Structure 1
Amino acid sequence: MPRSSTPPPHLTLNTSSRGTPAAIPNKHIPICSPGPAPFRGLETPPASPPKDSLIETSSITYPPSTHCSLYSEDPPVWMISAQRLAQALEHISTQPLPNPEQVFPWLHGLHAENQIQLAFFVSRRKSVRKVPKCIRGITIVKTGGDLSVSKLKGAIAPDELLQGRCMSEDAGAFIEPDPKDGFSVRNFQIQACKMALVSDIIVYGDDKTNPGATIELAKKISRAQRAYETKNGIQRGLFNTFMLGDHFCVVEQKYPELVAVDPEGCMTGKVMDFFYWERLEMCEMSKASEISNNVYLGPTPDDALECSSSQGLAIDVNIEASDLAHVPDPRSLKNLKISLKDSKHAPLHIEFPSSGSIMPPTWSHAEADGLMEVCKWIYEIANPQEVNKPEEQAVNDGDDIEMVDIARPQKVLIHCTDGYTESSLLGLAYFMYAEGLPVHDAWVQLHREKGRNFFAYPTDVALLTAIQPRILQESPRWKEDVFHISEPQWLSRIDGSLPSRILPYMYLGNLGHANNPELLKELGITRILSVGESLSWPEGTKKRLNWPSENFLFIDRVQDNGVDPLWDEFDRCLRFIERGKLDGTATLVHCRVGVSRSATICIAEVMNELGLSFPRAYCFVRARRLNVIIQPHLRFTYELLKWEEFQREKRNEPLRRELEWATIAREIALMNKPYSR
């Protein structure tokens, strides 16, 4: 990622939503049922590697006396140099993670008083509630907690770790990370604190920090470590507290790869950041492209992300789809058209109501009239050579809008924040009008032939279907009877969303998509990978639509319960997807909702195909799932991080994680917080 001068958003897990980044419009987190509780003797077989293949994480910060000096004996605090810090972080990133069976269900969060969580995971043996001895990490804490400047890789704030006010005299105990109430297999928000309990903790301040504050914070953390040792029967001194002995500027100068945010608040681009990487992937996916002559769809240009979709297009008219906009009236359109006669005019900016804002059956004829007027206006300025033909001029003389001739074609960008949600109504309506296509053909062609990923509300589908005769009757391309158009069976069964195209040969969707075979055929999908959820096609459908049995793969006994593994199935699933790719067709990967089990398989394939690290593959798939936020639970996420190890080994590359487990989980929790209810 290129260096960005834009200050990163202030991210924290312990504040109100005011402290979180602005959410991408219209995204949502679907509810994922965990399925039935696992019972002894009926669980899915454990994932590979086998349980007896134990892995323990080593660290070069233990014992601390080897390369560090003791600053304080009571409580013990050690001094660590910038060089040793860089070496320690490099070493930990090259250590294999313990197998999932060694750290789960402990990582799920097993509070002694949370009977629901305990009953689900550990009713058979209480030993799994003990702290695993195989796992070890490094946690970096910044004094003062301001992570918007001078942030080291993976750093957290003190209040994410310590109870009460971190600077108060009585602070000296860790937060209890395990939730006392409720049930969840997606406790990403507790992982940074939970891993800190089994980590060496390094405290640092920036060059403006009072050294005394860093010393005091380090002592409080050390006292918390001693208290945690006593409570949990951990060997004394197994985990220790360190203070960074060098100034932050030394780290910045000698080890720039460890600096995520510089002292001026600029992202360095040296450390992968989920929040920005998702937006960069989204810009890449939805970048502006031509859907009809001189008319483009794309995201609102954003120089801060350096992904201006209109760069190089010389856009003349920007039409932004907005929730607050009204349909432009004919007089305004005429005045705008007059201003376009000036060859040196600055790009015009127009607003149009966003998708889902014109609601049938209450929509008015005025709204339909306005939609048609805008489509016609766009077509006229984008195609003046067709509109202003001499033989048609006499017809146009009586129309106020048509009397204004445009000398040259104007390039029009229809845009919104994410490039596909709010603009889909106008984009689809114009595509129907300009190309003379009924709604079902426009829907498929915009996706397949024009390569656009988009989301349309069910109300948009109903509206465009209702006014389809008028759109086609006024279209300059439609020449047939508008009242006898046969509607395909799949259209009435669609909820507004298409399966998400992750790769050209792999789609991610839900059970509803999988049970709509006619739609899948229209999209070029001829293979279905069902992860834990079986199809319910009417009798004879496979034979009628010529779906051979070898084009189906059902992965059984995998619930979204935080217990059943998917690791054992990665290879079989990816071979199935690969066969479809070699045959020149596409595979739909689905579970029930299309966010956890099937998303996990898709991420594994992206890592395998594109050679991406897990964090980058996660953002790649997340951006392309459009309005639905992917939600692989903790165990699946951990398995994918182990899959990254396997991928590197297969490519004969040395193991080196880009980000550690605690940082990955924390970033996922922060990205999802704006959408959680």
Structure 2
Amino acid sequence: MAAVVARSPPMPGRSTPPPHLLNATSRNSPAAVPNKHIPICPTGPAPALQLETPPSSPPSKLSTIETSSITYPPTTYGSEFCNDPPLFTIGAQRLAQALDHLATQPLPNPEQVFPWLHGLHAENQIQLNFFTNRRKSVRKIPKGLRSITIVKTGGNLSSSKLKGAIAPDELLSRGPDENSFIECDPKDGFSVRNFQIQACKFAMVSDIIVYGDEKTSPSETIALAKRISKAQRQHEARHGLARCSFNTFILNDSFVHVQDAYPELVGIDSKGTMTGNVADFFYWERYEMCVMSKASEISQNVFLGPTPDPAIDSGCFSEQTFDLLIEASDMAHVPDTMLLRKSRSILERSNRRGPLHMEFPSSGNIMSPSWSHAEVDGLMDMCKWIYELANPQETKQSRRKKSGGDEDIEMTDIARSRKILIHCTDGYTESSLLGLAYFMYAEGLPVHEAWVQLHRDKGRNFFAYPQDVSLLTSIQPRILQDSPRFNDSVLHISEPQWLPRIDGSLPSRILPYMYLGNLGHANNPELLRELGITRVLSVGEAISWPEELKKKLDWPDENLMMVDRVQDNGVDPLWDEFERCLKFIEAGKLEGGATLVHCRVGVSRSATICIAEVMNELGLSFPRAYCFVRARRLNVIIQPHLRFTYELLKWEEYQRQRRNEPLRRELEWATIAREIALMNKPYSR
């Protein structure tokens, strides 16, 4: 697979394109967002314990959808190029028509293509034993499948990339028999998240169109097309398919012509710039993260947000102009008083241009109970220093009052308040320790109130490490005593029961009325009430609330819903539950509350329901809804498995039908699966 770097188009409504990596592989992977990770998703009970399989997705287990294509028969829109091996040519106009036709075809029902799509290698006994108990002849290629795969000669997808194009080595063997397809089904291990094999599997049931750009010669494209055609013939013979069931075409128009005449087919132009005409997962995840973590004011003149990127228009973060940027970094040290004094002097210079840049240790770097007094002193000095810059008049008046008006105040030269941004790469992880500590100091709040108010009232999504919770709890008396909002009552506040039971993370706010979380969040009802969550939707995992606590909180039974017998095993469907779950979430919205949707880890079953609701509520396609939810799950990467992902694509069909819109997928299944695999690769263990 080829490593690819592309220049992306401007964010919607922005003027400057953000640089990022597209379709990268291990040779050139995109930089992972710090501290994100892919959790292990348990598949539920062992196969022997699953006594029966849940019903299939509608419309019927027996219904078969046949996918038609205008590239078959091949001579309908194409011309024969040679017959040994059989090759055909196709023009740009016919290519555009063929792709458009494919996008309007309903996908086969999940029962038609699963478990085949999971990857069933003849030697993989674990995978076979799990699925063959549920289905006979599961290794046979499903009937009715027909797609289109586009392959670019040379495999350089960093420029001149058509919609959904893949490199030759994602499809063809590089061994002794180079005229054969890759054996893409894994030979060992068990997984229901084999997204990386989908492009190859679908290529074997596709008409394949080969093209080149101005850097490749026609002879290279012809040679590649012949290899693919021979691989198709070998595949047909091996699987008992009729000869020329699927065919190979050569695009006989130049890429430049396609780019000019059919720009909607071009993902990356000949200059290596993303056109924005083709949905891209990396781009949309970054865009949604930018929107979600946009800088906002948490206290007078002090903001939290992501690190401003010169390559992205500043409007994506905040329209504010900052005087001081404080970056939370793993490499930073706690500033001493001399550095703070020097930095203040720099800020006071009348000829200074641009914001002053400073660093502070990131979240999780000041460890409790091993932290030193110097580190805590530095944290307190930093909070105090920020407050004085943000509130100079209030600070000056306070000092004069304490000194009886006689003290020589150092701050008399500060003529105006300074706007300060506390930032980190993602806008919500490394900066949370300093952000929380400052919010406690500036507003005179104990840690549990600061935690909730920063999220609920200030609208900030953030992640803090357990050691941050421990540290802030330990030094809370000192923060409150030093606070300009100090009063005696804050020193007599008892710790709420929910605080020790959180691991640093709050449930993820996906929409104002819908949260996504794990079983631990669901079993902390006091926390849920603090966040304004009034309903709990349990997907496959039951909550365990003491009955007396349930009565104490006055939580009605009708505000709890359980979706039973749905394991994260690649077999149990969720489609049948979509409508019921979304009605439950809608009822909470109408009541003015919020619903927590959870499973065990909060990344697969519950994430699937949340994506379905985002598609339903915002009218987004699956690729865009997936990125919307993925960005808002913060440090945990959502992982709906292959079947859930496929069901969500079918849900998109249903949504369009319900809105009386014609069916037209934004991206095909193979492309979606490939992009998800590439997005997750930097985080894989």
Residue 59 of structure 1: CA displacement?
Answer: 0.4
Residue 8 of structure 1: CA displacement?
Answer: 4.7
**Secondary structure of the equivalent of 2:547?**
coil
- Residue 545 (structure 1) aligns with: 553
- Residue 107 (structure 2) aligns with: 97
- On the 8 A contact 2:325/2:356 being kept in 1, the answer is yes
Residue 541 of structure 1: CA displacement?
Answer: 1.5
What is the one-letter code of the residue matched to 1:32?
C
What is the one-letter code of the residue matched to 1:66?
T
- Residue 519 (structure 1) aligns with: 527
1:60 pairs with 2:70: yes
Residue 540 of structure 1: CA displacement?
Answer: 1.5
- The one-character-per-residue Cα deviations of 1:49-107 (angstroms, maximum 9, x if unpaired) are 11122111110000011111111211111111001111000000000000000000000
Residue 123 of structure 1: CA displacement?
Answer: 3.3
What is the one-letter code of the residue matched to 1:221?
I
- The one-character-per-residue Cα deviations of 1:495-553 (angstroms, maximum 9, x if unpaired) are 10000000000000000000000000000001000000001112322111000010011
Distance of aligned partners of 1:398 and 1:217 in 2 relative to their CA distance in 1, 3 Å threshold: farther
- On the 8 A contact 2:400/2:406 being kept in 1, the answer is no
- The one-character-per-residue Cα deviations of 1:154-184 (angstroms, maximum 9, x if unpaired) are 011111001117xxx9510000110001000
- Residue 128 (structure 2) aligns with: 118
Q: Percent identity?
A: 73
**Secondary structure of the equivalent of 2:142?**
coil
Aligned match of 1:334 in 334, 338, 341?
341
Distance of aligned partners of 1:277 and 1:106 in 2 relative to their CA distance in 1, 3 Å threshold: same
Aligned match of 2:198 in 171, 191, 199?
191
Distance of aligned partners of 1:7 and 1:509 in 2 relative to their CA distance in 1, 3 Å threshold: closer
- Residue 581 (structure 2) aligns with: 573
- Residue 290 (structure 2) aligns with: 283
Distance of aligned partners of 1:139 and 1:310 in 2 relative to their CA distance in 1, 3 Å threshold: closer
- Residue 571 (structure 2) aligns with: 563
Segment drifting more, 416-425 vs 474-483: 474-483
- On the 8 A contact 2:293/2:317 being kept in 1, the answer is no
Residue 661 of structure 1: CA displacement?
Answer: 0.3
- On the 8 A contact 1:141/1:201 being kept in 2, the answer is yes
Residue 314 of structure 1: CA displacement?
Answer: 1.1
Distance of aligned partners of 1:439 and 1:124 in 2 relative to their CA distance in 1, 3 Å threshold: closer
What is the one-letter code of the residue matched to 1:11?
N
Runs of 4+ in 1 over 6 A off after TM superposition: 396-401
Residues 107-506 of structure 1: pairs in structure 2 closer than 5 A: 107-123=117-133, 125-164=135-174, 170-306=177-313, 308-345=315-352, 346-389=354-397, 392=400, 395=403, 402-403=410-411, 405-481=413-489, 483-506=491-514
Residues 656-667 of structure 1: pairs in structure 2 closer than 5 A: 656-667=664-675
**Secondary structure of the equivalent of 2:470?**
helix
- On the 8 A contact 1:6/1:267 being kept in 2, the answer is no
- On the 8 A contact 1:260/1:268 being kept in 2, the answer is yes
Distance of aligned partners of 1:399 and 1:331 in 2 relative to their CA distance in 1, 3 Å threshold: farther
Instruction: Give the distance between the partners of 1:591 and 1:125, measured in 2 at CA.
Output: 27
**Secondary structure of the equivalent of 1:243?**
strand
Instruction: Give the distance between the partners of 1:448 and 1:344, measured in 2 at CA.
Output: 40
Instruction: Give the distance between the partners of 2:80 and 2:588, measured in 1 at CA.
Output: 60
Distance of aligned partners of 1:391 and 1:288 in 2 relative to their CA distance in 1, 3 Å threshold: closer
Aligned match of 2:21 in 9, 12, 20?
9
CA RMSD, Structure 1 to Structure 2 (Å): 1.8
- The one-character-per-residue Cα deviations of 1:12-46 (angstroms, maximum 9, x if unpaired) are 4xx53x42111011000000111124568611112
**Secondary structure of the equivalent of 1:410?**
coil
- On the 8 A contact 2:290/2:317 being kept in 1, the answer is no
Instruction: Give the distance between the partners of 2:249 and 2:94, measured in 1 at CA.
Output: 11
- Residue 23 (structure 1) aligns with: 32
Residue 488 of structure 1: CA displacement?
Answer: 0.4
1:79 pairs with 2:86: no
Residue 338 of structure 1: CA displacement?
Answer: 1.0
Residue 310 of structure 1: CA displacement?
Answer: 4.9
What is the one-letter code of the residue matched to 1:70?
E
Residue 150 of structure 1: CA displacement?
Answer: 0.7
Instruction: Give the distance between the partners of 2:606 and 2:614, measured in 1 at CA.
Output: 13
**Secondary structure of the equivalent of 2:631?**
helix
Instruction: Give the distance between the partners of 2:126 and 2:409, measured in 1 at CA.
Output: 67
- On the 8 A contact 2:610/2:629 being kept in 1, the answer is yes
- On the 8 A contact 1:57/1:96 being kept in 2, the answer is yes
Residue 342 of structure 1: CA displacement?
Answer: 2.2
Aligned match of 2:45 in 27, 36, 45?
36
What is the one-letter code of the residue matched to 1:392?
R
Distance of aligned partners of 1:406 and 1:65 in 2 relative to their CA distance in 1, 3 Å threshold: same
Aligned match of 2:636 in 617, 621, 628?
628
Distance of aligned partners of 1:7 and 1:138 in 2 relative to their CA distance in 1, 3 Å threshold: farther
Distance of aligned partners of 1:10 and 1:517 in 2 relative to their CA distance in 1, 3 Å threshold: closer
Distance of aligned partners of 1:479 and 1:402 in 2 relative to their CA distance in 1, 3 Å threshold: farther
What is the one-letter code of the residue matched to 1:52?
L
What is the one-letter code of the residue matched to 1:159?
D
Instruction: Give the distance between the partners of 1:562 and 1:278, measured in 2 at CA.
Output: 25
- The one-character-per-residue Cα deviations of 1:242-280 (angstroms, maximum 9, x if unpaired) are 111000000000000111111111111111100111010
Instruction: Give the distance between the partners of 1:405 and 1:309, measured in 2 at CA.
Output: 34
What is the one-letter code of the residue matched to 2:21?
P
Residue 323 of structure 1: CA displacement?
Answer: 0.8
- Residue 542 (structure 2) aligns with: 534
What is the one-letter code of the residue matched to 2:194?
N
Instruction: Give the distance between the partners of 1:484 and 1:422, measured in 2 at CA.
Output: 30
What is the one-letter code of the residue matched to 2:210?
V
**Secondary structure of the equivalent of 2:311?**
helix
- Count the aligned residue pairs: 671
Distance of aligned partners of 1:273 and 1:622 in 2 relative to their CA distance in 1, 3 Å threshold: same
**Structure 1 unaligned regions, length at least 5:** none
- On the 8 A contact 1:514/1:588 being kept in 2, the answer is yes
**Secondary structure of the equivalent of 1:182?**
coil
Distance of aligned partners of 1:322 and 1:308 in 2 relative to their CA distance in 1, 3 Å threshold: farther
Residue 405 of structure 1: CA displacement?
Answer: 3.4
Residue 393 of structure 1: CA displacement?
Answer: 7.4
- The one-character-per-residue Cα deviations of 1:190-217 (angstroms, maximum 9, x if unpaired) are 0000110100111111122111111110
- The one-character-per-residue Cα deviations of 1:301-355 (angstroms, maximum 9, x if unpaired) are 1243445555421110000111111111111110111111124422100011111
What is the one-letter code of the residue matched to 1:132?
P
1:592 pairs with 2:600: yes
Please report the TM-score for the alignment, with normalisation by the length of structure 1. 0.96
- The one-character-per-residue Cα deviations of 1:108-154 (angstroms, maximum 9, x if unpaired) are 00000000000001135441210012211111111111111111110
Instruction: Give the distance between the partners of 1:399 and 1:28, measured in 2 at CA.
Output: 53
- The one-character-per-residue Cα deviations of 1:586-625 (angstroms, maximum 9, x if unpaired) are 0000000000000000000000000000000000000000
What is the one-letter code of the residue matched to 1:634?
L
- Residue 5 (structure 2) aligns with: none
What is the one-letter code of the residue matched to 2:32?
A
- On the 8 A contact 1:330/1:401 being kept in 2, the answer is no
Instruction: Give the distance between the partners of 1:122 and 1:160, measured in 2 at CA.
Output: 28
What is the one-letter code of the residue matched to 1:446?
L
**Structure 2 unaligned regions, length at least 5:** 1-8
